Amino acid sequence: DGGITQSPKYLFRKEGQNVTLSCEQNLNHDAMYWYRQDPGQGLRLIYYSQIVNDFQKGDIAEGYSVSREKKESFPLTVTSAQKNPTAFYLCASKPWQGGFSQPQHFGDGTRLSIL
């Protein structure tokens, strides 16, 4: 079955530590996205990538970094510079849009907490 796989499901970070969240898709989608979800707030865009080896900052990119070396993979690193990393992180992908907007499809998320 095609889909988006995020791992791990739960992750704990120590002070001063960088952690990397994995996102893999086998849908042959061109665009991939990372969102952060906090209680009572809408999803906020961290980074997105439309093609391999290219990515753009979203609305809350500070303290995060990404890479897009392969079409199917878009890992997110939460650096020690992100002072409030506790949240639910969601990865999404979509085909490159033609005339109409295509929906984004989501993985099942990674919950990151501070130790």
The footprint of another protein (CB under 8 A) covers 4, 6, 31, 33, 35, 40-45, 48, 50, 56, 58, 90, 92, 94, 97, 100-109, 111
Q: Are 26 and 92 in contact (CB under 8 A)?
A: no
Q: Which is nearer to another protein, 80 or 105 (CB)?
A: 105
Q: Which is nearer to another protein, 67 or 80 (CB)?
A: 67
C-beta of 10: minimal distance to another protein in Å?
A: 10
Q: Pairing between strand 110-114 and 10-13?
A: parallel
C-beta of 90: minimal distance to another protein in Å?
A: 5
Q: Which is nearer to another protein, 36 or 82 (CB)?
A: 36
10 Å Cβ neighbour count for 7? 13
Among 64, 15, 13, 9, CA closest to 36: 64
Q: Which is nearer to another protein, 16 or 99 (CB)?
A: 99
Q: Are 94 and 104 in contact (CB under 8 A)?
A: yes
